[in-house]
Structure 1
Amino acid sequence: MSNETVWDRPEPPAKPSPTPLSRELVVGAAIRLADAGGLDEVSFRKVAAALGAGPMRLYGYVETKDELLDLMVDEVYGEITPPSPSAGWREGLRHVAHGVRAAAKRHEWFVDLVGNRPHQGPNALTHLETTLATVRFEDIDQVLDVVGAVMAYVFGAVRGEITELRAERSSGMTEEQWQRASGPYMQRVLATGRFPTLARVVHESSDRDAAERFETGLGYVLDGVAARHSP
C-alpha cells in the first residue's frame, strides 16, 4: 500500500475494457448504494457488482474502504454551493447552513461521516475556505469560533432530523402516529404534575415543520454571534 493519500495518487492509465472504470464511476456507484440502503451497503464487492467489474479492479482506484468513504464525503461537499463573495457573514453562514442541510437530506449517510475528523479532499477544503472567508472578522480565532459554533448547530440539528426520518422508516410510524400511540402514557405521566414545563410543551407548543425549526434555531445562533461581535 502506498504512503500517498488518495488525493495525491493518480488513477491508473485507462485500458480498453468492456467495463471501463474510473475513480469517478467507483465513487458514484458507492454513493448510489449508500443513498439507497445506507453505509452498510457500501463494500468493494457490491460497488464492483454495480459496475459489472471484479472487486480486485477497484483497488487500482481506491485502496481502502476509508478512502472510498472520504471520496464519497468529498463528492457531497462538492454539491454545496459556496456563499457569494459579496455576502456578509450572516447571509453567508445562513447560505452554507441550508446548503449542508439540503445535501444531508439527499445523502442521509453524510451526517454519519462528518464532524468526526477533518476532511482534506479538494471539495471539502474549498467548502471550508469559502465558509471561513465569509466571516471577515479581524481575529482569525474568532472566525474559527464562529464557524465552529454555527456548524456544530447545523450538524447537530440535521443529525437529529435524519435520526427522526430513520425512526419513522424503522417503526413504520410518523412522529404524529408515534405521539398518538404514546399519548395515553404521556397523559398519565403529565397528570402527576411532576413535569409542568413538559406539559406546556405538549399542550401549548405550535406544530412546526423541520425546515422552520432549523431556521429558527439557526437564527438564535446567528443572533448570538451578532450580539457578541456588534460594533
Structure 2
Amino acid sequence: MAARPEPGSGETPLVWERPEPPSRPAPSPLSRESIVRAAIDLADADGLEAVSLRKVAAALDAGPMRLYGYLSTKDELLDLMADAVYGEMVSPEPAGQDWRTALRTLAHRTRQAALRHEWFADLLGGRLHVGPNGLAHLEASLSALDGTPGFDHIDTVMQAVTAVNSYVIGAVRGEITALRAERATGMDERQVQAASGPYLSRMLATGRYPTLVKVIKDATHPGTDITFDGGLDYVLDGIATHLT
C-alpha cells in the first residue's frame, strides 16, 4: 500500500488516500461509492454537463455540503467516476498470452466501457488517471509487453502502449461523436448522406476529388466493429514491423 503523506509534510493527500468521514445516522447515508454511482447515473443519462455536486446531492436526497466531506471538487468527482469505469475493465484473468492479444483485449475493453458510458470518452486523453483501477489498467498494458521478445527496454514498451492508446482514444472519440451527432440531428448516416447527396454529387462532378469518388463508389464501408479492429491491426502490425 502506498505510504500516506505525513502530517505537516506540505503534501495535500489525493482523494484516493483521504479517509471517508465516519458514518453517522442520517435519513440518507452517504459514501464515496454511492456518490460516484449517482454521478455516473446522471452522466449516463445526460452527459457530463448534467453532473454537479448539487445535482448529485439532490439525487441522493442529501444537502450539497455533506458531499464535501467525501470529496473537495468536481474534478475529484470526475476522477472517481473515471476510476469506477476503469474498474469495469480490470479483470483477474490475463488479457492474453501474447502482446498483440493482450493489447487488443485491453483496447476492446476500453471501447466497450466508453460505449456503455459515453461521457468516459470525454475524460480519455486528458488528465492522468491515477486511481487504483486506472493504474491497474495501465499496469496490465505495460506488463503485457515488458520483457517479451523485442520489448527488452521499458522505453520500447512505453512507445508501443502509447501508440495503441492514442489510436483507441481517437477511434472511440470519433465513434461516440458520430453517435451524438446522429441523436442530435435525428438522422442516421444514410439519411445524412441522402440530405447532402445532391451537393456532393455536384462537387464530385467537378473532377477535383478523384480519390474521394473512388472511396464513395468502391469502398466497402464496413461497420464500426470492423473499422475499429482494422485500424487496430494497422497499429499492431506497425509495432511488430518496428520490432523486427
Output the TM-score relative to the length of structure 1.
0.96
- In structure 2, C-alpha distance between the alignment counterparts of 1:103 and 1:45, rounded to whole Å: 26
Aligned to 2:108: 98
2:171 is matched with: 157
How far apart are 1:207 and its partner, in Å? 2.8
Instruction: Find the counterpart in structure 2 of residue 209 from structure 1.
Output: 223
TM superposition shift of 1:88? 0.8
Structure 2 residue 201 is the aligned partner of structure 1 residue 187: yes
Q: Which residue of 2 aligns with 1:146?
A: 160
Deviation, structure 1 residue 123: 0.4
Matched with 1:79 is 88
Q: Which amino acid aligns with 2:185?
A: S
Match of 1:171 among 185, 206, 209: 185
Q: 1:117 aligns with which of 100, 115, 127?
A: 127
- Runs of 5+ unmatched residues, structure 2: 1-10
- Could you list the per-position Cα deviations for residues 131-161 of structure 1 after superposition, in whole angstroms to 9, with x for gaps in the alignment? 1000131110000000000010000000000
Runs of 4+ in 1 over 6 A off after TM superposition: none
Unaligned runs of 5+ in 1: none
Which shifted more, 202-211 or 34-43?
A: 202-211
* Other-structure match for 1:58: 67
1:130 Cα offset (Å):
1.0
**Mapped contact 2:111–2:168 kept (Cα < 8 A):** yes
Code of the residue aligned with 1:36 in structure 2: it is A
Q: Tell me the alpha carbon deviations over residues 142-182 of structure 1, each in whole angstroms, 9 at most, x when there is no partner.
A: 00000000010000000000000000011111111101110
Tell me which of 83, 107, 126 is aligned to 2:117. Answer: 107
| Match for residue 17 of structure 1 among 18, 26, 39 | 26
Counterpart-to-counterpart distance in 1, 2:96 and 2:111? 22
What residue identity is the alignment partner of 2:155?
D
Report if aligned partners of 2:90, 2:136 keep a CA contact under 8 Å in 1: no
Number of residue pairs the alignment of both structures matches: 229
Report the equivalent of 2:56.
47
* Letter in structure 2 aligned against 1:147: V
SS of the residue corresponding to residue 10 of structure 1 reads: coil
AA aligned opposite 1:104: A
| Post-superposition CA distance 1:87-126 (Å, at most 9, x none) | 2110000000000000000011111112112111000011
Corresponding position of 2:4: none
RMSD: 1.2
Which one-letter code corresponds to 2:190 in the other structure? Answer: E
- 1:135 corresponds in structure 2 to 145
The whole-number CA distance in structure 1 between the counterparts of 2:241 and 2:184 is 42
Distance 1:86 1:164, change over 3 A: closer
Cα distance 1:86–1:31, how it changes in 2: closer, same or farther (>3 A)?
Answer: closer
Relative to structure 1, the CA distance from residue 85 to residue 32 in structure 2 (aligned partners, 3 Å threshold; closer, same or farther) is closer
